[in-house]
Structures are given as structure tokens and as C-alpha cells.
């Protein structure tokens, strides 16, 4: 194996991770707020300009031209808030980058076996930690729509994490109108449909609006009476067979006084 390629793989993966994490955390202007001084940013720009003097190539991102010591400074600046859960101990990570920087510009001299093992081990550790972090973040929610919030005109509110079955304190009577808003997160922004199924029906009423309406019927008189809210995407697959997520809202439906 080309041990210097292993080093480059770790360096590029780390730079990609730093850019993605800080852009998510502090916004698209992260590079101006990452803790690196303007003099160092100018040095990065000079390297980029030297690599592509006419500026006609595809152009790499500016962070591609930073040194590993600069990368260590960025990690230190945002360690607790962004990077500690990925890389563990700051002092260890700084030592790793110090070692890699030493061999990164070693002039491609012939390395001793212990040096090759050191580079391979450190580079492998960095790559493994980034891969593990990505695996931890990747869940079923990255593939299917989920209901984040449900509101009704009776003043009830459900939010993700409360459980799929909620008993409200609302008392309804036949003839009352329920208006329910369903807010959904969909990672891929597919076209969504929203469904409503009352206890008294075996059928789901589907529509394109996330604002759903239902008029309470005499046959709904019971306690609890559940209204099921559902969502499905236009994909050919769904998290729960024919739909992707659901929430049950329970009400008390009492008869009209005579």
C-alpha cells in the first residue's frame, strides 16, 4: 500500500468532515468564523491561486489548501461544541495531526517500518472515527418521512418524542368540527400525502394538504375516540408498509344533550 496515499485519504476525509460539521453548525460563512486568522486564510488562497493560476479549473474548496496545524487550530476552537464526540480526546488528536504533518512533507524519503505503521495506524484511526460518526447519525429517519408536530383547533399539540398515542382532554360532541395540522420532516422532499382515519371508519381519507378536517358523527360517541393521522410519500416503499408514519389523538366524544 502507498502509505502516503493513506495519509492523504485521512487528511481529505478530515477536511471534508470539518467543513461539513462547521457549515451545519455555524452556517455557509463558517470559514470566516472558524477561528483562523485572515493571514492564514490569505496563505490558503495563495496556494489555491498557484495551483490554478487562471482560475478556469473546477477549483477545490479553500480548506483543501490548509495545513494540518491550521486544522488542529480549528478543531481546538470548536472542540467541545462540534468535534469531541467524534474524535474523543483533543490532546491525542492534536498529537496525531502533528505526527502526520511531520511525514506529510518528508520529501518522500524511504520510511522505516515503524514510521509506516505509525502513519497507517493514525490515518486509520481518523478514518474509522469519521466513518463511525456517520454510521451513528444514519438512521431510518434519513430515509422516510416522519411527523414532527400535530396541532388541532382544540388547543392540543403533539411533538415528536411524545409517543404515538396521545389522550387529549378535549370533549367533543356530534357535529363538532376538528381541524388538524400535521407538520412533517422529509429528508428528500418528496411529494407527500396526508391521511385521516377515525375510529368509526375502516378507510383512510388521503389528500395533498397537511390541514385535515373531520366532523364528529353520532357513531363516534365513545371514550376514548381516536383519530389517526398518517403520512406517506410518493416513493415506491414506505416505513410501515403502506404509509410512513402515524399519530393517534384520543378524544372524549359524548352525546348531545336532549
Specify if 190 maps to a domain.
Answer: yes
Which of 138, 163, 195 terminates a domain? The answer is: 138
Which of 138, 171, 198 terminates a domain? The answer is: 138
Which string of b and e fits 132-156 if b means at least 16 CB within 10 Å? ebeeeeeeeeeebbebeebbbebeb
- The answer to whether residues 98 and 117 touch, using CB atoms and an 8 Å cutoff, is no
Specify if 146 maps to a domain.
Answer: yes
pLDDT at 1: 60
For the chain, the domain total comes to: 2
23 lies in the same domain as 134 = yes
Which of 111, 138, 165 terminates a domain? The answer is: 138
Q: pTM for the whole thing?
A: 0.55
Q: Which domain holds residue 201?
A: 142-253
How far is 32 from 40, CA to CA, in rounded Å? 11
pLDDT at 57: 42
How far is 234 from 229, CA to CA, in rounded Å? 17
160 lies in the same domain as 34 = no
Specify if 258 maps to a domain.
Answer: no
11 lies in the same domain as 118 = yes
- The answer to whether residues 217 and 200 touch, using CB atoms and an 8 Å cutoff, is yes
122 lies in the same domain as 164 = no
pLDDT at 202: 87
pLDDT at 141: 60
Specify if 154 maps to a domain.
Answer: yes
- Taking 50 as the pLDDT cut, the residues of the chain under it are 56-58
98 lies in the same domain as 168 = no
Specify if 148 maps to a domain.
Answer: yes
18 lies in the same domain as 134 = yes
Amino acid at each position: 500500500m502507498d502509505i502516503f496515499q493513506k495519509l492523504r485519504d485521512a487528511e481529505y476525509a478530515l477536511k471534508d468532515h470539518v467543513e461539513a460539521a462547521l457549515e451545519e453548525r455555524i452556517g455557509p460563512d463558517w470559514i470566516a468564523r472558524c477561528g483562523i486568522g485572515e493571514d492564514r486564510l490569505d496563505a490558503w488562497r495563495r496556494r489555491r491561486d498557484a495551483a490554478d493560476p487562471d482560475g478556469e479549473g473546477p477549483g477545490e474548496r479553500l480548506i483543501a489548501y490548509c495545513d494540518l496545524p491550521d486544522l488542529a487550530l480549528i478543531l481546538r476552537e470548536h472542540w467541545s461544541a462540534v468535534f469531541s464526540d467524534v474524535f474523543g480526546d483533543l490532546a491525542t488528536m492534536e498529537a496525531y495531526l502533528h505526527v502526520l504533518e511531520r511525514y506529510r512533507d518528508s520529501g518522500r524519503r524511504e520510511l522505516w517500518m515503524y514510521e509506516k505503521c505509525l502513519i497507517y495506524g493514525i490515518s486509520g484511526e481518523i478514518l474509522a472515527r469519521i466513518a463511525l460518526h456517520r454510521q451513528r447519525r444514519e438512521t431510518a429517519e434519513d430515509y422516510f418521512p416522519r411527523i414532527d408536530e400535530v396541532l388541532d383547533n382544540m388547543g392540543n399539540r403533539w411533538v415528536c418524542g411524545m409517543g404515538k398515542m396521545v389522550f387529549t382532554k378535549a370533549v367533543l360532541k356530534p357535529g363538532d368540527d376538528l381541524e388538524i395540522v400535521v407538520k412533517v420532516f422529509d429528508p428528500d422532499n418528496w411529494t407527500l400525502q396526508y391521511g385521516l382515519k377515525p375510529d368509526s371508519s375502516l378507510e383512510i381519507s388521503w389528500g395533498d394538504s397537511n390541514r385535515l378536517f373531520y366532523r364528529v358523527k353520532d357513531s363516534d360517541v365513545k371514550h376514548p375516540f381516536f383519530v389517526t393521522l398518517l403520512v406517506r410519500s410518493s416513493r415506491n416503499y414506505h416505513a410501515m408498509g403502506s404509509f410512513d408514519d402515524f399519530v393517534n389523538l384520543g378524544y372524549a366524544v359524548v352525546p348531545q344533550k336532549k
